[in-house]
Amino acid sequence: MSDPYILVLYYSQQGATRQLAEQIAAGIEEVPGISARLRTVPSVSTVCEAVASEIPPEGAVYASLDDLRDCEGLAIGSPTRFGNMAAALKYYLDSTSSLWMNGALINKPATAFTSTSSIHGGQEATLMTMLIPLLHHGMVYAGVPYSAKALFDTTSGGTPYGASHFAGPKNDRTVDEHERALARFQGRRLAKLAKALKPLREE
């Protein structure tokens, strides 16, 4: 049995969503007694014969089903794709029926994060698309409450639905001060919720 961890599961083609994932992980690691496990998913291809290497070119290693089954909570992140999560992440989620049948994720906390190239390019809609399968799994969704002061101050990313990043049309804006503060807040909150909800799962 591994030590308790929150799974930070993300897909990132150009690195923007990965920056947010790392900030959420840093927030989780600030809470004693629980750690962050960063995992990604392989890209999907229109070429039927394409097979992904087992080692990703950059970032975290690929998530297994066991990574998800055994986590204490989940932070899931994707760049927006026309206001929706990326197919690669959806493909991974579509492989989780066995966990759903066994109720493996019921009463575990979850949250979502995203990155877009335009400021009103669908951040909140994308976060909602990731929320839906988590509700089917019986997870307890946690956004970012307005006690996170940066929600009032940000002029870029950061929403009450979850952390977000405005990467700019060339995807070259790095995560700024407010986006970082909100991602860390979200990570800390998720870790605290995972600890608080644990007794409920053991009933």
Ligand X SMILES: Cc1cc2nc3c(=O)[nH]c(=O)nc-3n(C[C@H](O)[C@H](O)[C@H](O)COP(=O)(O)O)c2cc1C
Query: Least CB distance from residue 120 to ligand X, whole Å?
Result: 8
Q: Which is nearer to ligand X, 27 or 122 (CB)?
A: 122
Q: How far is CA 70 from the centre of its chain?
A: 16
CB of 115 to ligand X, least distance (A): 4
Q: For ligand X, which is the closer residue by CB, 126 or 137?
A: 126
CB of 154 to ligand X, least distance (A): 16
Q: What is the 3-state secondary structure (H, E, C) of 6-73?
A: EEEEECCCCCHHHHHHHHHHHHHHCCCCCEEEEEECCCCCCCCCCCCCCCCCCCCEECCHHHHHCCCE
- Min dist. Cβ of residue 16 to ligand X (A): 3
Closer of 17 and 111 to ligand X (Cβ): 17
Nearer to ligand X, 83 or 138 (CB): 83
Separation of CA 128 from chain center: 12
- Give the binding site for ligand X (CB under 6 A): 12-18, 79-83, 115-118, 121-122, 167, 171
Smallest distance, ligand X to C-beta of residue 60, A: 13
Determine the 3-state secondary structure of 77 from DSSP: strand
- For ligand X, give the closer residue by CB, 81 or 184: 81
Q: How many residues does the chain have?
A: 203
| Contact (CB, 8 A) for 76 and 20 | no
Q: Can you give the C-alpha Rg of the chain in angstroms?
A: 16
Q: Which residue is nearest to ligand X (CB)?
A: 121
Q: How many of the other CB atoms lie within 10 Å of CB of 115?
A: 32
